[in-house]
Amino acid sequence: MFLIAGLGNPGEKYSHNRHNIGFLIIDKIIKNLTTNNINNPNFKSICYKAPNTIYAKPQTFMNLSGESIIAIADYYDISNDNIIIIHDDIDLEFGSLKFKIGGGHGGHNGLRSIDSHCGKDYIRVRVGVGKPSSKSDVANFVLSDFSKEEFKELNDTIINHTIKAIEDIKKTNDLTQIKSTYTLSVKKKDK
């Protein structure tokens, strides 16, 4: 069984925020699948069950995401090597996509929460959302909406590419192969 969770914040006002890229990807995945909703209040999450996979959008707000992830993983006895977390990454340019297991949280409070509840050795799908010019603007930046152009690019290419990568992660346990096939590296643009 896999647990594939997209990180974000619940509520309409956050729905197109950079911080909510995980929710956007989960929404697109389940749109094309036959799933059953799972109604378990202990999960603190909107969950969908498909064969051999639970898709989750934690409803705890970003900073407490680990509470939801650990509750689902414990209930279904899902090991960390079958947990895939999709999250925004400000250290990657918009349009970049990278994969890793473990490592630091890089200041991402959702990952910090998951690390504290589950440990660090889960699969991370890092979706680049760009970076503000000043460190003091990070909170406002990740809670800002994607531009219309960015949102179109997300829907036309980046989200679909990410979904293909996730499907292949489920098929093969070879993250090296996934990295070589699906990594997208966008260079910083001069302003």
Please give the positions annotated as active site. 19
H or E element that contains 5: strand 2-6
User: 179-188: long-range contacts (C-beta < 8 A, 24 or more apart)?
Assistant: 179/98, 179/99, 182/97, 182/99, 183/97, 183/98, 183/99, 184/95, 184/96, 184/97, 184/98, 184/128, 184/158, 185/96, 185/98, 186/92, 186/93, 186/94, 186/95, 186/96, 186/128, 187/93, 188/93
